[in-house]
Structure 1
Amino acid sequence: MTRLRTLVVAMAATLAGACSLIPAYERPAAPVPAAFPDAPATAASVSEAPAWRDYFADARLRELVELALANNRDLRIAALNIERARAQYGIQRADLFPSITANGGQTAQRLPADLSRSGEAGTTRQYSATVGFSAYELDFFGRIRSLNKQALEQYLGTEEARRSAQISLVAEVANAWLRLAADRERQALANNTLATRQKSYELTKRSFDVGATSALDLRQAQTLLEGARADAARYASLVTQGRNALALVVGAEVPTELQPQGFAEAITAVAELPAGVPSEVLTRRPDILQSERQLRAANASIGAARAAFFPRITLTAAAGTASSTLDGLFEAGSGTWSFVPQISLPIFEAGRLSANLEATKVQREIAVAQYEKAIQSAFREVADALADRATLAEQLDARRRLVEASEASFKLSEARYKAGIDSYFGLLDAQRSLYAAELDLIAVRQADGANRIALYKSLGGGWQ
């Protein structure tokens, strides 16, 4: 047993100084401009970027996100993938150490008389109890450590995938909540418009019945009424679908008190993107970090492929006791040991090892291209969000002014119609214009909230 312990210590010391054939890793340069286009000019400290709990202003939405993080099945799958990758990394790491096992056994053999030295048939028995390891590879050239490095990077990549899934989930919940709020606002507007047009139609019909209004005015009023009724039904369906979509992304039934009751003017409380934030912040996005982990894993696999060209040294050793009787295992002088070193040197593989090394190098180049593409895609997402952000404030102001002007125009048309100055057609046209302007304002307000969510997601949950 002392010899076995000494051998294990010696092997550990040898492996500590073993070489590694993994190429030196260098992060590829980001193939994007150093600064974002259309970035706002407002100055702010980069460290002030809020987390998602501070990003969203509505307490109901924050509570809903917490519920989704606890129940969403996609996020749960991502977490389980981490556990699986951790276990796989543990399996690979175990190859760095010898697997020591204890064995006990009996060997019984009968020899016929013509094979026995004594000239008589007989049965021999041998008992043994040993502790040792079998075919343990001395990792002189880093093959096992390269594979261990590869498994580690893949495991860390799954953790980045979980973070990316969480950011996407937060954004998806916020978008579903925002769409439901906007559809409820549209439904409320359609219902109010339906009630108004119902009254207008009834008034017009009474006037028609007494001959004060033409049939054309009545049909025009009916046209607007039926259009409003159709819109009200359509938005009622969209609201139901929105509740179902929100329940799906949350992963549980959404309590009524957590559903949006009205359309919030400001769904987020995030500050504008600070001036001077470099595009380098994209390299800290979880999905890009995951892509880089895959690149590091591909780089480590080259080390394992290189090590395959060198000799592989394996050891098999055991120590224990052996005796012809079971009681003899515990008597003095029954000790036994074995030590079997082996070396294997590839001589002719018909190009197998060279082809495998070339394949790992090509795989690394593929990983580099995927990493660069991930950065380019992320840069475009941020650039698109900033392009929208640059004009949304002006669009909101214009739509609000349009609603105010349309409302004033409607009131004037109504007054002129009652005074007999204008025809009923002018009043109906003003009603249509006001209704369309109010719907457009809701759409722009929804786009503004969605843009803030998109900026949060595209920057990887913030820019700190």
Structure 2
Amino acid sequence: MKQIRSIIAALALLPLLGACSAVRHCQAPELNLPETIVPGGVDTLTLADMEWWRFYGDSTLCTIIGRTLENNRNIRAAASRVEQLREMYRIRKAERLPSLSLGAVADFETNDYAGEASKRDPEFGLKATIGWELDLWGNLRWAKRKGEAEWLASVEDERAMRMTLIAEVAAAYFRLVALDNELSIVLQTLETRREGVAKAKLRFEGGLTSEIVYQQAQVEYASTATLVPDLENRIEITENALCLLMGTYPGEEILRSGTAPAVPSSGSLPVGLPSQLLRRRPDIRAAEQQLRASMSSVGMAYADRFPRLTFTLQGGWENDALSGFFRSPFSYMAGQLASPLFAFGRKKARYRAALAACDESRLKYEQKVLEAFKETDDAVSTYRNVRHTAALKAHSRNAARKYVELAELQYRSGSINYIDVLDAQRRYFDAQIALSNAVRDENLALVQLYKALGGGWQSPADPQ
């Protein structure tokens, strides 16, 4: 009895010993995280703490984002992959449990051999079979862990795609609003130039100015008019891009209100801590799960080098006639210990290949972390600079508008030539376009910063 207990205890320890030995050659990631994401940043909060439907306060934009998340084919394919790997994980879990099968057989065999009388050999059977593999070396447990890691990685991949799609939709929307604003500026300027042409014509026909002033006015009007077709084409292309993201065909009307997102004050740009970035960005979490899956593959390859112990228990009824069938029970029990004798190094090579794949996944994870910090630092720097640029462009636009007003007054009083008025109008037009583009770039930079910090993957059903 004592000997049996010793054997049972040894069998219980074997999986633990195998699990420890399996991944002992796998190297842990070396991150050496900095103390802050950006120099001087010690925030405990981050922009990404805001859900996307609160961060993008524009209800029209939120409606477009909602339609995209519902209808975009790529995000739906990613959701299907999550479901696929979730079911595969359930299979891996079930493989650790005994299997039960039930079979019924009825056959009638006739043998008529040379020199012997004809024989008939009927057989009827109803059999239940239970099979179970004792997971001595953790092969099935490692397979379960791998399936779980692959499933969780697909969940994070789907979230990363959701985050990317939201950023793409927001960026396209703000580009579209900027193009609308630019077209409005061009049309307003075109109307001003049309009035200028009419006034220049009257003054020329009245003999107050030379023909050159009239021709200059026409040139300015024509050069402004050439901008309209290009802007209309760019607007249509951007609308088509949004239609594609929403999963619809081109031509659908895209509503927009032009409201900017909630921009933080100039003295406050919360970016969070390095550890928060690792926890929040789904692409980093996906790379981490892929590393865990690779480590599980190492465990599987290690366990596959050792014997497998399986048990089979079969029972039921079997008879050569239906009469008395249920009075003919039978049972069968067997155990099998299978181990390769000569694999010519194949299993050892598979184990080494799994170790190399694990090392590859580790390096990819480390690279993903480095890329995330680089993207975040770039996004912070870009946003701060474009915001400062937008403030300067606003000042330049205001000065150019005052310049036009003064130039027109001096032209009416005869102090300056009409060419000076046109120059002032050109400067004001350029300043308006520059400010519109600066506001667009500020919005785009904020979108990129929000995405770089890991914001945008949330849905009301997702845990934080």
What range is the shorter-chain TM-score in? Answer: 0.7 to 0.9
**For each residue in 1:82-129, what CA deviation from the matched residue of structure 2 results, as whole angstroms up to 9, or x when unmatched?**
11111222223332223211112134333458786xxx5431222211
Query: Which residue of the partner structure matches residue 126 of structure 2?
Result: 129
Q: Distance in 1 between matches of 2:318 and 2:245?
A: 66
How far is the alpha carbon of 1:45 from its aligned partner? 4.4
Kindly tell me: are residues 109 and 442 of structure 1, through their superposed partners in 2, closer, same or farther at Cα, counting changes over 3 Å? same
Q: Residues 200 and 113 of structure 1: is their aligned pair in 2 closer, same or farther, counting only changes over 3 Å?
A: closer
Aligned to 1:146: 142
What TM-score results when the alignment is normalised by the length of structure 2?
0.87
Q: Measure the CA separation in 2 of the matches of 1:36 and 1:254.
A: 41
2:153 alignment partner AA: G
Instruction: Give the corresponding residue for 2:423.
Output: 429
Is the 2:48–2:456 contact (alpha carbons within 8 Å) kept by the matching residues of 1?
Answer: no
Which residue of 349, 352, 355 maps to 1:355? Answer: 349
- 1:258 Cα offset (Å): 6.8
CA distance in 2, matches of 1:149, 1:48: 30
1:283 aligns with 2:250: no
Aligned to 1:67: 67
1:165 aligns with 2:161: yes
Secondary structure of 1:127 counterpart = strand
- Secondary structure of the 2:226 match is helix
Alignment of 1:96-111 (within 5 A): 96-111=96-111
Decide whether the 8 Å contact of 1:306 with 1:357 is kept in 2. yes
Give 1:138 shift: 2.2
Amino acid at match of 1:127: F
Deviations, residues 131-181 of structure 1 (Å, cap 9, x unaligned): 0045x4322111122122111100111111111111112212211111111
**Aligned partner of residue 342 in structure 1, secondary structure:** strand
CA distance in structure 1 between the aligned counterparts of 2:99 and 2:44, rounded to whole angstroms: 57
Q: Given that residues 294 and 358 in structure 2 are in contact (C-alpha distance below 8 angstroms), is that contact kept between their aligned partners in structure 1?
A: yes
Deviation at 1:81, TM superposition (A): 0.9
Provide the residue aligned with 2:329 in structure 1. 335
Deviation at 1:62, TM superposition (A): 1.9
Q: Decide whether the 8 Å contact of 2:71 with 2:246 is kept in 1.
A: yes
Task: For 1:205, give the aligned amino acid.
Answer: K
Query: Is the alpha carbon distance of 1:201 and 1:178 closer, same or farther for their aligned partners in structure 2, counting shifts above 3 Å?
Result: same
C-alpha separation in 1, matches of 2:379 and 2:135 = 51
Judge conservation of contact 2:240–2:251 (CA < 8 Å) in 1: no
Partner of 1:3: none
Q: Is the 8 A contact 1:204 1:217 kept in 2?
A: yes
Are 1:69 and 1:75, in contact at CA under 8 Å, matched by a contact in 2?
Answer: yes
> Is the 1:28–1:368 Cα contact (8 Å) retained in structure 2?
yes
Following TM superposition, by how much is the alpha carbon of 1:212 offset from its aligned partner in structure 2, in angstroms? 2.8
* 1:216 equivalent in alignment to 2:212: yes
Range with bigger deviation, 102-111 or 73-82: 102-111
What does 1:249-288 align with in structure 2 at a 5 Å threshold?
Answer: 249-252=245-248, 259-261=255-257, 263-264=258-259, 266-268=260-262, 272-274=268-270, 277-284=272-279, 285-288=281-284
* Residue identity opposite 1:382 in structure 2: T
Equivalent of residue 447 in structure 2, options 428, 436, 453: 453
Whole-angstrom distance in 1 between the partners of 2:143 and 2:111: 49
The answer to whether structure 1 residue 205 and structure 2 residue 206 are counterparts is no
- SS of the equivalent of 2:324 reads helix
| Distance across 2 between alignment mates of 1:115 and 1:101 | 41
Q: 1:270 to 1:156 in 2, by over 3 A?
A: farther
SS at match of 1:449: helix
Distance 1:29 1:150, change over 3 A: same
In 1, are the aligned partners of 2:89 and 2:151 still within 8 Å (CA)? yes
The aligned counterpart of 1:6 is: none
Partner SS state of residue 105, structure 1: strand
- Alignment partner of 1:84 is 2:84: yes
Quickly say closer, same or farther: Cα 1:194–1:46, change in 2 above 3 A: closer
Q: Which whole-Å CA distance do the structure 2 matches of 1:27 and 1:274 have between them?
A: 31
How many angstroms apart in 1 are the aligned matches of 2:383 and 2:28? 31
Contact 2:47–2:453 (8 Å) recurs in 1: no
Counterpart residue identity of residue 38, structure 2: P
Structure 1 length normalisation: TM-score?
0.87
In the aligned structure 2, how far is the partner of 1:362 from the partner of 1:353?
A: 14
CA distance, structure 2, for counterparts of residue 121 and residue 80 of structure 1: 60
Give the partner amino acid of 1:146: W
Give the deviation of 1:226 after TM superposition: 1.2
Check 1:160–1:422 CA distance in 2 against 1; reply closer, same or farther (3 A cut).
same
Letter in 1 for 2:369: I
- The equivalent of 1:8 in structure 2 is none
Cα distance in 1 for partners of 2:123, 2:67 equals 66
Higher alpha-carbon deviation: 247-256 or 50-59: 247-256
1:379 is matched with: 373
Q: Deviations over 1:218-244 (max 9, x none)?
A: 332222111211112222222222222
Number of residues paired by the alignment?
442
Give secondary structure in 1 for the equivalent of 2:147.
helix
Q: Compared with structure 1, are the counterparts of its residues 31 and 434 closer, same or farther at alpha carbon in structure 2 (3 Å cutoff)?
A: farther
Secondary structure in structure 2 of the residue aligned to 1:34: coil
Structure 2 gap ranges (5+): 1-7, 458-463
Do the aligned partners of 1:268 and 1:449 also contact (CA within 8 Å) in 2? no
For 2:339 and 2:452, how far apart are their aligned partners in 1? 51
Query: Structure 1: which 5+ residue stretches go unaligned?
Result: 1-10
Structure 1 pair 298–397 and aligned structure 2 pair: CA distance change class (3 A): same
* 1:374-413 pair list within 5 angstroms: 374-413=368-407
